[in-house]
Amino acid sequence: MSRKQQLLKRYRRNKRLGVIVCALASLVLALFTWWWLALLLLPLLWIAHEAWFADHLFYTPGEDYRYRFGELTREADVELRDGLLTVDSPLQGDETLVLEVRVKSGWLGRFLDPRVELTCTDDNDRQTFERGVDGLRFLNLTGFAAALQAGTLRLRGRHCRLLGKPRLWITPGVELQRRRIMVIAPHADDAELAAYGLYSQADVAWIVTLTAGEIEAEHYQQMGLGKAEAARLKGRLRAWDSVAVPRWAGVPESRCVQLGYFCLQLPAMQAAPDQPFASREAGMQDIRPFRQFNTFSLPGDSNGAPTWRNLLADLAALLEMAKPDVLVMPHPQLDPHPDHLSAQAAVMQALQGLAWQPQTLLCYANHLHDNDRWPMGDSGDGVALPPQLSAEQAWAPCVLPLDLATQRDKAMALGMMHDLQPRMPFKRRLRRLLQRWLAGRRASPYGENEFFRKAVRRHELFWRREL
């Protein structure tokens, strides 16, 4: 069982215990006092839960985030006085800037999302943290270098305060636009969620999607299709999305590749490299139907077997063909999705022994172990560093700022993805409405799916290593 599954199991167990306690308390009220008070209390408790306690937060807000940034990143002295942040160290303007500071929630910040507002003469941002936050956090100041140098960058806590002496971490900028980039997407939409802004600005970009993402096709079953037929339709649609949507960003069809392996089977394939693993729901053992939109053949096309050996051969052929300078893939520690972990492992294994080696590795996290709401806050806001409670390995942050036009284009790309189009369940829509009324949260203007809020931001955040 993965760490996230363990945390979710514990969260649900504690939630059930809380429900039982509330039900027993209501029963006591009904038997020994006024029965109508119990009837009134139960819906009020449910509303309070949905508005303020429904977030999946698998740590306490009072814990410190912990990071090691490695040799690429240096520390600079900064001073925060009367809300103004100043630095003496010279800045070029293209650096990734991260401010380590203690954030402490006020009493209202236990019910409304606490956030830090960043303002200067010609720009502003806000970055949101957990309700009840009281620990070290890492603000993203990328894009504010000029204001920071001039001493005009103002930081203001809303429902929270900034305490102690801050520390500024500076990672030099890296040229990405003129270099060949390959984005590894375990599923259709992972490339767009994590790196649409990056690959849309690159002169040469490749998008390689590993799986068809055919499972969990209940939306298509509602159309009258059987389970296997619905899964096959969903897989075909997402295979099409993976090669068609990047065209919106100018990536030619010849550099968009769908490998067609089956969703949530990559870990099993990795554990038994020569054994084929069929789709869990589509009734398929051949990956070739999901490759029909590719413009060239790959080693796995010879037999269509869903094996780890074929996946490694496909990736090696693509790496030798594309010769990417920059590889973009899921983060091996931050992103816990099983397919994402196996996708990253497959790429690193496929690189072994190849004549061509990339120079830069950029990793992303579309999912987290500890906080299902990160990045917190609204569409268009900045992206603070995610929760990490132990700094096991050193990674340098690498932030790409996105202007409003690029954010909108990214939102339209996500809107084309079939997996983000179905409506949310009624309970989730009701929860969002209660949170809007009682907790001040805003829905994304771009779409109903939660990824529109999470991914359409003024920053794309990666973790960088030079190889």
Instruction: Report pLDDT for 33.
Output: 64
Q: Are residues 337 and 224 in the same domain?
A: yes
Q: Are residues 310 and 411 in the same domain?
A: yes
Q: Which residue has the higher pLDDT, 371 or 417?
A: 417
What's the predicted TM-score (pTM) here? 0.93
Q: How far is CA 164 from CA 80, 136, 417, in A?
A: 9, 10, 44
Instruction: Report pLDDT for 30.
Output: 60
* pLDDT score of 68 more than 70: yes
Which SS3 state, helix, strand or coil, does residue 90 take?
coil
Q: Are residues 242 and 96 in the same domain?
A: no
Q: Which of 146, 171, 196 is the last residue of a domain?
A: 171
Token output for 328 = 């973009």
Q: How far is CA 259 from CA 47, 238, 320, in A?
A: 45, 12, 16
* pLDDT score of 97 more than 70: yes
DSSP assigned state of 239: H
pLDDT in tens, 22-57: 666 666 656 666 656 666 777 888 888 888 888 888
Phi, psi angles (nearest 5°) of residue 66: -130, 130
Among candidate residues 70, 24, 89, 21, the one with its CA nearest the CA of residue 49: 21
> Domain containing 251: what range?
180-387+394-466
Instruction: Report pLDDT for 56.
Output: 83
- 417 in a structural domain: yes
Among candidate residues 354, 367, 292, the one with its CA nearest the CA of residue 318: 354
Q: Are residues 286 and 140 in the same domain?
A: no
CATH number at residue 199: 3.40.50.10320
Q: Are residues 319 and 405 in the same domain?
A: yes
Instruction: Report pLDDT for 34.
Output: 62
Q: How far is CA 150 from CA 15, 87, 237, 357, in A?
A: 49, 8, 51, 41
* Burial group, residue 122, by CB count within 10 angstroms (0-12, 13-18, 19+): exposed
Quick one: how far is CA 21 from the chain centroid?
35
Query: Considering only 30-44, 308-322, 382-396, 449-463, which range has the smallest mean pLDDT?
Result: 30-44
Phi, psi angles (nearest 5°) of residue 27: -65, -40
Beta bridge partners of 399: 461
Q: Are residues 85 and 37 in the same domain?
A: no
Q: Are residues 32 and 126 in the same domain?
A: no
- 62 in a structural domain: no
- 319 in a structural domain: yes
| Averaged pLDDT, 362-369 | 95
pLDDT in tens, 150-208: 999 999 999 999 999 999 999 999 999 999 999 999 999 999 999 999 999 999 999 99
- 158 in a structural domain: yes
Q: Are residues 214 and 348 in the same domain?
A: yes
Q: Which of 136, 171, 206 is the last residue of a domain?
A: 171
- 107 in a structural domain: yes
Instruction: Report pLDDT for 45.
Output: 80
First to last CA, the chain: 32
| C-beta of residue 440 within 8 angstroms of C-beta of residue 112 | yes
Q: Are residues 324 and 409 in the same domain?
A: yes
Q: Which of 124, 140, 171 is the last residue of a domain?
A: 171
pLDDT in tens, 234-284: 999 999 999 999 999 999 999 999 999 999 999 999 999 999 999 999 999
Tally of domains within the chain: 3
| C-beta of residue 131 within 8 angstroms of C-beta of residue 112 | yes
- 381 in a structural domain: yes
Helices (H), 112-152: 145-150
Q: Are residues 191 and 167 in the same domain?
A: no
- 65 in a structural domain: no
Q: Are residues 325 and 419 in the same domain?
A: yes
- 260 in a structural domain: yes
Among candidate residues 206, 108, 106, the one with its CA nearest the CA of residue 161: 106
| Averaged pLDDT, 297-319 | 98
Helix axes 338-351, 308-322, angle to 10 degrees: 60
Q: Are residues 189 and 41 in the same domain?
A: no
